[in-house]
Structure 1
Amino acid sequence: MKTADVIKKIEETAFLCGAASWDNCGVQIPSQKKEVQKLAVALDPTESTIQQAIAKGADFVLTHHPLLMKPRYLNKLDTHFSIVSALITHDTCLYSAHTSLDANPEGPSGWLARALNLQQCKLLSNTCTFEPEAVAFSLPQRVDTHAMLNDWENNPHIQHIRYAAPLVNVTYNKEHRSAVLAQLVADLDELPIFMPSTPDTDSKSLGFGTIGTLPNPVSFGIFAEQLASVVDRDYWVRSGPVPETVSKVAYCTGSGSDFAPKAFAMGADVFITGDVKYHSALDTTGCILDVGHFSLEEEMMRQFSVQLTKELDGIEIFFLPAQDPMRLIGPFA
């Protein structure tokens, strides 16, 4: 299969228009090869992963995380040099589907919502709405959410939130943050419910984070058992109060704790993510479950490899599993 056709198929799920403005999605290292016979899929472009892919004869490596967020000189004989050198020497293409994949809830990033059977799912943050068959798509709703939330965190008096609507400035303090967010959600237009495109619903909404409702309310203990049955990690980190019952669940893959206040303002009983920051844990008004960055995104990429195997004929596709770099040790005296 032609390399250009492989990239086109990837981007039919990982839409570039949905990616965050700070991100580096797309081709990381190009190849002169016009055809792809073997495609490797993995979470990270580590030296070990790239070596495995090359050893298996991969012409194309698809990872979730980019090689780098910003360009870097090859002026040191380090791991970065080894990775780039190996890819160029073997003429192997490296492509990253990072936030472009995260932003499509109908794709592999929605695996947890489907595993928990969440109903009436909505986006926590809308970044792009477009017509899948159209040549052009609209970007007026694009948001640099990480920069926005960083400003919010560093300025204790002024909160800036940009939706598709004009900028909204709200003076707040920690005591009434939750009330302010709840009022914002009530005042602004409802975020779109995302559903598979049909002849009657051609537009597609992309964005980060998902919130939905369980088929039936359950106790927190039962919900934790359900979550444990689908998330492959033997420990979690909990922040905030434990709800008696769980009905509405929100989550964001990766480092998504910045979306927790919005999720709770929209009625979430639990917010699931990875890499919860200290101050996010300290200030939370709801229950946050950090189940690990790796566990959520490793499964996402495994499912993406399964999807591509069904969609791409004539090439061999294989998933390269990795190990969670986070380890739980102890106890200590």
Structure 2
Amino acid sequence: MTGQRSDHGAGSTPPPSVGDVLLAVEELWPETLAESWDAVGLVVGKPSNPASKILFAVDPTHEVISEALQWGADLIITHHPLMMKPVNSVAATHFKGNAVHRLIEGGCALTTVHTNGDSAVGGVSDVLADAFGLVDVQPLTSSAGGLPEEGLGRVGNLSAPTTLGDFAGVVFSILPAVAGGVRVAGDCDGLVRRVAVCGGAGDSLFDQVRASGADVYVTADLRHHPVSEAREAASNDRPYLIDVSHFGSEWLWLTPAAAALAHVLADHGFDADIRVSSVNTDPWDFVLTPGMP
């Protein structure tokens, strides 16, 4: 993968502050859409500091931070939180504390758009639904206080039926290449038309997927027992399941998210250089499969 850049480079209009970017982020992905257990928003940095260079990434790993600091980024926007749980220390003796120190010493802020970015219009699951060519798309779950079209997951229809094998091939071709590839549960020749998707880990939504009448469900991090039970409970062998990379399912969102932020900032009279990280933060390096030498 290569880094991607929005069409809005630094120019004659002033750059935003970190606070200005946070207001734009709130406009696009309101914190009220975040799940109650989530940790979103500003993690490191002063709202008054400038944010002329902004980097989007899935994970706030040390490699991503290095990329940002080498580029001179003022702000990193990640999908995954650096600190999901409360901490008692940010000492640089552990990797999360060290990340905080590196960001502060490098003058780079960090903010998180997580489940609010999943549920919002144009969020992670909407991007997946668009990439797979779904129409008549609706959320799998509604978001309290959100719009009718906001919530976790999406379900919609393909323009024409296809086989599970061919659809899985489309999914594989669209997502970034990772070691784990794509796993499929179901009849390769079975017909599918109604498709449910959820970026990231989505095995908590099996009840909603079944209620939606989906023929196939695309999500990540599917574990043995939930999958086994879902297949045992299948009606007419459906829904089939397609298990993809957690990183890959959310990476697709970064480019449209960067473009959306650039447009909102431009509407408010600001200009920033916004890029998508070139770092593949999928944690797996290789996989062994039957038949390999």
Q: Could you tell me the TM-score, scaled by structure 1's length?
A: 0.73
Q: Does 2:246 align with 1:293?
A: yes
Max Rg structure: 1
Alpha-carbon distance change, 88 to 299 in structure 1, aligned in 2, over 3 angstroms? same
CA contact (8 A) 1:255 1:293 kept: yes
Amino acid at match of 2:254: M
**After the TM superposition, which residues 1-333 of structure 1 pair with which residues of structure 2 at under 5 Å, given as runs?**
1-31=16-46, 33-72=48-87, 73-75=89-91, 77-130=93-146, 203=147, 205-233=149-177, 235-240=181-186, 244-284=190-230, 285=234, 286-313=239-266, 314-323=271-280, 324-331=282-289
Alpha-carbon distance change, 305 to 42 in structure 1, aligned in 2, over 3 angstroms? same
Amino acid at match of 1:127: S
Amino acid at match of 1:211: V
CA contact (8 A) 1:25 1:98 kept: yes
Amino acid at match of 2:122: E
Aligned equivalents of 1:291 and 1:110: distance in 2?
Answer: 16
Question: Per-residue deviation at 1:301?
Answer: 1.7
Q: CA RMSD in A?
A: 2.1
Alpha-carbon distance change, 65 to 19 in structure 1, aligned in 2, over 3 angstroms? same
Moved more, 116-125 or 31-40: 31-40
Aligned equivalents of 1:321 and 1:307: distance in 2?
Answer: 19
| Matched position secondary structure for 2:110 | strand
Aligned equivalents of 1:127 and 1:222: distance in 2?
Answer: 32
Question: Per-residue deviation at 1:238?
Answer: 2.1
Question: Per-residue deviation at 1:309?
Answer: 3.1
Q: Could you tell me the TM-score, scaled by structure 2's length?
A: 0.82
Aligned equivalents of 1:74 and 1:226: distance in 2?
Answer: 43
| Matched position secondary structure for 1:129 | coil
Amino acid at match of 2:141: S
Moved more, 222-231 or 292-301: 222-231
CA contact (8 A) 1:214 1:247 kept: yes
| Matched position secondary structure for 2:241 | strand
Structure 2 regions of 5+ residues with no counterpart?
1-15
Higher relative contact order (CA 8 A, sep 6+): 2
Amino acid at match of 1:271: Y
CA contact (8 A) 1:39 1:61 kept: yes
Amino acid at match of 1:326: W
Amino acid at match of 1:305: A
Structure 1 regions of 5+ residues with no counterpart?
131-202
Aligned equivalents of 2:37 and 2:261: distance in 1?
Answer: 27
Question: Per-residue deviation at 1:288?
Answer: 1.1
Amino acid at match of 1:297: E
Q: Percent identity?
A: 29
Alpha-carbon distance change, 225 to 237 in structure 1, aligned in 2, over 3 angstroms? closer
CA contact (8 A) 2:19 2:48 kept: no
